[in-house]
Structure 1
């Protein structure tokens, strides 16, 4: 292997994709923030409406990222036929990543909903079209992250409204060992084949958006997680088959820019077609696997921007941001209705609104620093995840590498996090695509 030809990424953190996570998270956050009562900042929001109104698509971008990262990290670990021990290790790693902050936020917000129920008479306790059931049985469902699995619509399924996507993604994790049976057999397929499958997986959702502008129907959440996760997985298979050269990096950097341009054009087209109604701009999901794959193959252009320290840190706190923003917003919105001094349209409300957004980001940072990451490390070293190292004996004569410090990847995000796979390339690839060891 020469310096001009590198192997594609096989594991570890791809910093540009970590940085992309905060873009997806903020897309969702701004979408929800736009529902803040009052019109104090309506003039500022208006030019951005094509992007703001379609912020729910950030969840679909999370799903593509999740499918890519999970496949990149775990496909080789799972092997042709995942053993029960490896499946258990995988599931435990996912629990360690997504469950601690999820259960804390869900429990605290559930307590808020119970309190609010004692203060209102109209039964409107959560800012959802269908009110969630807050009782012991549904609390157990929330804790197990299965509250969505038997529901055709996600409205009212989760106490924290946005957490429906966590339940959907947990289902994808549970089924991932089954998907491995297919992905393993496609791992050597030409990149053009798996790349076409990646874009093709998003076609059903794009078609619904293009024809109806209404991508919410019975079990649409299952289509979204299935399409997004598989699209990310197929994208990963395509990327693994491409040798990274300077020319490939230049092309990938250009494709990434083109994908972003097409996404923006598609969103403005959807706004024009729907005249401010509907979600015709959802057709842009076709570009999500293209964007993720091109960013993974290059360190230039957009990849360089997304790989900067602030963007990567934003990606790492994105999961906490995704979970905490709804409780913060809803408590603030309720306070606006209860407290005349911060009523919608008041001067004090206008001052506090941007502060609430900044506070949400700060809270996400604190959640990641003092809850999400410490809890993940604590659980990983005390559960079945530690069995993976003992699952397969080393070959005779193979030196045992010293333990390395683990560093968080994020996620899935909306979602999912990056989990390291053993590095299989030499120093040349490492020099070209430096990775930090990360874990989910």
Structure 2
């Protein structure tokens, strides 16, 4: 697989749901005045829309959030990493037999970028989102590369892999529950992800292997992208049409209804937007290879990753 095919696969993976939600938000913003719903002046502006459309909204310093689709800031950072992948690949190829060196370089770059970001913006690097959130992806992507090569060297037994998954899960959840420093949580997320990968590598099947759970995992990307827009629309509509308070405090009934709506929306976007959108983009951007050997190498999963 060449670089063009790699970019096509990754673009097809992240863009259909993003574009659908962004255009839906555009329609809602345009319709809001007609429904008597006031919007904060200047927050939904053309410049932010174009930046979000092009996935560059997290590449530059900014004072306010790009509200067109808040979670999409991470797609902006992710897209930057995909564009920069040749640089990562060159480094990884040289150090592929020394994964701990790659992880060490990731740690050093994280510390340096964190110091720069705190000096410039007064926040730790994991809090970088719309404002230069792209800086987060530089060391974190490298961290992932190192963990990948580390995982290639380990073939744990099913028992060891289960124990590792449980231990890293408890550690990560404990750090989050007790309000540990965000930088520590980011570091702990690495072993957690690696442990889950090794669980699969060891052939361990758990309740997570059930087809319903697998579908939920596949649709979680759409859930991540759509939950904030739905929450914003829900609360603004409730305030304007029903006179409810403008804060985001909710009772159990409202939370349950909102959760059901969000899950249903995510499932629908995954089935009717993501899956056909990925297939269409991959076929359009990367014509089918003629060589049967290359065709076999270029088979893609439903998630858009080449096997």
Give me the TM-score of the superposition, normalised by structure 2.
Answer: 0.80
For 2:138, which of 223, 226, 229 is the aligned residue?
226
Corresponding residue for residue 80 of structure 1? none
Once the 2 structures are TM-superposed, how far is the Cα of residue 287 of structure 1 from its aligned partner?
A: 1.2
Corresponding residue for residue 408 of structure 1? 302
Aligned equivalents of 1:307 and 1:269: distance in 2? 30
Higher relative contact order (CA 8 A, sep 6+): 1
For 2:197, which of 290, 296, 299 is the aligned residue?
296
For 1:365, which of 252, 267, 273 is the aligned residue?
267
For 1:254, which of 163, 185, 189 is the aligned residue?
163
Match of 1:386, SS?
Answer: coil
The change in CA–CA distance for 1:400 and 1:143 in structure 2 (over 3 A counts) is closer
Aligned equivalents of 2:306 and 2:298: distance in 1? 13
The change in CA–CA distance for 1:160 and 1:108 in structure 2 (over 3 A counts) is same
Corresponding residue for residue 45 of structure 2? 134
Structure 2 residue 147 is matched with structure 1 residue 235: yes
Q: Is the 8 A contact 1:266 1:284 kept in 2?
A: yes
The change in CA–CA distance for 1:281 and 1:176 in structure 2 (over 3 A counts) is closer
Aligned equivalents of 1:343 and 1:329: distance in 2? 14
User: What's the C-alpha RMSD, in Å, of the aligned pairs?
Assistant: 3.7
The change in CA–CA distance for 1:169 and 1:350 in structure 2 (over 3 A counts) is same
Structure 2 unaligned spans of 5+? none
The change in CA–CA distance for 1:301 and 1:355 in structure 2 (over 3 A counts) is farther
Match of 1:297, SS?
Answer: helix
Corresponding residue for residue 157 of structure 1? 66
Give me the TM-score of the superposition, normalised by structure 1.
Answer: 0.58
Corresponding residue for residue 284 of structure 2? 382
Q: Is the 8 A contact 1:259 1:291 kept in 2?
A: yes
Once the 2 structures are TM-superposed, how far is the Cα of residue 311 of structure 1 from its aligned partner?
A: 2.4
For 1:286, which of 164, 171, 187 is the aligned residue?
187
Structure 2 residue 209 is matched with structure 1 residue 310: no
For 2:15, which of 90, 99, 116 is the aligned residue?
99
